Amino acid sequence: MRFRRSGRGRARSPAGAIGPAAPEPTAAEALLRRRRSTEITGIGVGAVGLVMVLISWAVRGYLPPELERAAPLSVASFGPLTLAVCAAGVLAVRFAGNTRRYQQVGVLQIGLSVGAVLAAGIVLPVTSRAAGACLVVLPILVAGIRFGRRGAVFTWMCGVTGYASVSGILAATAEHHTRVGPAAEASITGFVFAAVLGFFVAWTIGNQTAAVDRQVAALAAAQDALQYQATHDALTGLANRALLYSRDAALQGNGALLGIDLDGFKGVNDTYGHATGDAVLRTVASRLRTCVGTDDLVVRTGGDEFVIVLRGADRDAAEAAAHRVRTALTGPVPTDDGPLRIGVSVGVAVTSGPGPWDVDALAAQADARMYAEKAAHRR
């Protein structure tokens, strides 16, 4: 077979230096980074809100009377809710790799954010409620990033409806609401503007999140396709040497390696052409798959040479697998040029013990025994 590698564990970097190759981030790793980046940004926004509340308390003596009276209520209501939003963001970072828990924490955090907006509607005076309504944009943005268009629009509906209800109830029950008619009208106009702005923000961020998700899915599919192409034989769909040696670190304990070489395959190519030869190789690959279990690995190492990796097999199990291979491959192979018969030579190498496999040494043993069997067939 002569498929053994050299330079174990060494790769050439793009600059030409010898050293370990930098692994490409997987789609799962990219998603994890995106989630953590989103949550860290959300924590930063919440922290800014908390700082602004504390600043409003510290400078309350310099604020207009209405805002000065609202400062203690802001600290008592808006402050703890904002702190809870930040704490939920920390949990979201912690569970970013667990989709179910991440979504659960995300729903909790969005609910707290909407609650903070409603608290702002309660504590702010009438003249400032329109500005407070704009705060609903923050949970809309976070919901859109986490849950897409539906999450953003739903958060917008909850935030706007809740804020309008709270503001309406307060306006209806205020003792002096009749004396702030112009201010109330201005507040309503500002609220409508904030509601419309929130809707467009929700729709836009939802569309952008959907576009990003589609792009990530396309990149993940392309990455999977490239990974498959790099680790599988294009003609037969079997694993190739790259996949074999990428998994050899996990090969430990008892096992066996079968080296397989077709006899007379060159004559098939020379007589019937490479199209017929390719059809024979695909049939051989299909039959080899039927000779092994789900934990075993069938590899095409090149040309008409194959390897089977049998995990947990002893000598008897390996010889039984070799017998199945000989039986499966000696039957006629149907082609467009009629049924063809090919021969096969199989070499068996067995390893035992608790340590890792030496795949190169096993390949050398299987090579030697396979070529010995091939020489016997020529006699």
150-187 pLDDT tens trace: 888 888 888 888 877 776 776 666 544 444 455 455 55
pLDDT of res. 346: 94
Cα–Cα dist 121/129, whole Å? 6
pLDDT of res. 365: 92
pLDDT of res. 11: 40
pLDDT of res. 178: 46
pTM comes to 0.59
Neighbours of 321 (CB within 10 A): 21
pLDDT of res. 327: 92
Low-confidence residues of the chain: pLDDT under 50: 6-22, 175-180, 183
Cα–Cα dist 209/22, whole Å? 29
pLDDT of res. 171: 64
pLDDT of res. 2: 52
pLDDT of res. 14: 40
